[in-house]
């Protein structure tokens, strides 16, 4: 109700401004009214066109060419896409990325929400714990990965193996065992991401009116019922934001696989066990000069992320709006 009033007021204000602008013909009035705002938008539009729009459109064109960055691009039609869908390394990268995305998004959301529920209060202890869990999100990415490389070293001086050895267990080659590669990527990503997710959930939880919980408690609702019937539904917008941005971010994962698993001739680790779509794109584009092919990978990645975002938005819509 309050929103409707606001919209009406704004509309009336705009009307009054237009009325005061003079008595010229409507088309000329509109032109005159738009000139200043458009002029103010020019710097943004120029930068956006030069650094976002043009590269994006150009990459779409390049995806239909054979291009090595130095010679002129040669138009090849859908050849890159045909080759891509016949390329086993692409499917390996796609499979690894899908597993990574699902695991990271689910774990980040669940653990972030759990941490927010546990440490969402105002006590000093809660504030310290929130800072502790948020630290990985603000620490430098590359430096942190160098530390992880040390933690996960297959030798006995690797921190994780040193701990295992104190319990009499044999060392594990964490980064050299193909079946563990995606798991290691997920561990590193979730460790670095759940603190940020927790902060978003804390903000979401604080926006829920306490009266709802009080009324539910008076009506005899159990803590579990309050969580499922009040907390989760009202956290839907926060959850939607976290899942969508998390999905996009996870699909774009590069630093972790590149720095933890990259080798002399392969960016994907042993048997491409840690190859992801973006590292594969980088390998083809900047390792092998196949920028047309790399652009095709980028567009396939874009389409996948776009479709998943649409699905997320649809699933996350409030039930009343979805049913209309």
Shortest Cβ 183–another protein spacing (Å): 15
Write each residue from 110 to 149 as x if it is in contact with another protein (CB under 8 A), else as -, in one continuous string.
Answer: ---------------------------------------x
Cβ contact 260:82 at 8 Å:
no
Q: How many angstroms separate the CA atoms of 67 and 156, rounded?
A: 46
Which residues ranging from 52 to 81 are in contact with another protein (CB under 8 A)? 68-71
Residue 183 interacts with another protein (CB under 8 A): yes or no: no
The length of the chain is: 324
- Output phi, psi for 275, to 5 deg: -70, 130
Shortest Cβ 247–another protein spacing (Å): 27
Q: How many angstroms separate the CA atoms of 78 and 64, rounded?
A: 6
Write the burial class of residue 256 (CB in 10 Å: 0-12 exposed, 13-18 middle, 19+ buried): buried
Cβ contact 172:164 at 8 Å:
yes
Residue 260 interacts with another protein (CB under 8 A): yes or no: yes
Binds another protein by CB under 8 A, chosen from 64, 119, 251, 261: 261
Residue 280 interacts with another protein (CB under 8 A): yes or no: no
Residue whose C-alpha is closest to residue 189's, from 302, 306, 109: 109
Window of 105-113, 217-225, 242-250, 269-277 that interacts with another protein by CB under 8 A: 269-277
Encoding tokens for residue 63?
């995806």
Contacts of 164 (CB under 8 A, 6+ apart): 170, 171, 172
Shortest Cβ 138–another protein spacing (Å): 24
Write each residue from 5 to 24 as x if it is in contact with another protein (CB under 8 A), else as -, in one continuous string.
Answer: --------------------
Shortest Cβ 269–another protein spacing (Å): 7
Positions that interact with another protein (CB under 8 A) = 68-71, 149, 153-157, 173, 175-178, 260-266, 269-272, 282-283, 286-289
């Amino acid at each position: 109700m309050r929103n409707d009033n606001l919209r009406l007021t704004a509309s009336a204000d705009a009307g009054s401004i237009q009325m005061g602008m003079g008595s010229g013909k409507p088309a000329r009035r509109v032109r005159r009214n738009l000139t200043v705002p458009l002029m103010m938008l020019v710097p943004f539009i120029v930068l956006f066109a030069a650094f976002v729009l043009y590269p994006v459109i150009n990459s779409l064109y390049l995806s239909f060419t054979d291009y090595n960055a130095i010679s002129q691009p040669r138009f090849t039609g859908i050849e890159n896409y045909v080759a891509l869908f016949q390329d086993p390394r692409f499917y390996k990268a796609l499979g690894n990325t899908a597993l990574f995305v699902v695991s990271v998004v689910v774990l980040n959301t669940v653990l972030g929400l759990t941490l927010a529920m546990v440490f969402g209060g105002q006590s000093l202890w809660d504030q310290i714990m929130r800072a502790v869990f948020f630290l990985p999100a603000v620490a430098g990415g590359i430096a942190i990965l160098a530390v992880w490389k040390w933690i996960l070293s297959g030798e006995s001086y690797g921190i994780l193996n040193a701990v295992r050895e104190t319990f009499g267990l044999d060392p594990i080659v964490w980064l050299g065992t193909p079946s563990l590669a995606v798991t290691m990527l997920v561990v590193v990503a979730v460790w670095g991401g759940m603190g940020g997710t927790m902060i978003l959930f804390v903000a979401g939880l604080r926006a829920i009116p306490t009266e709802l919980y009080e009324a539910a408690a008076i009506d005899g609702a159990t803590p579990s019922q309050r969580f499922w019937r009040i907390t989760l539904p009202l956290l839907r917008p926060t959850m939607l934001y976290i899942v969508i941005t998390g999905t996009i971010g996870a699909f774009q994962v590069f630093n972790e696989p590149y720095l933890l698993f990259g080798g002399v001739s392969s960016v994907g680790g042993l048997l491409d066990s840690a190859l992801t779509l973006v590292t594969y794109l980088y390998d083809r584009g900047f390792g092998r000069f196949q920028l047309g092919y790399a652009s095709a990978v980028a567009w396939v990645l874009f389409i996948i992320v776009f479709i998943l975002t649409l699905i997320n938005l649809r699933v996350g819509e409030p039930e009343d709006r979805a049913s209309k």
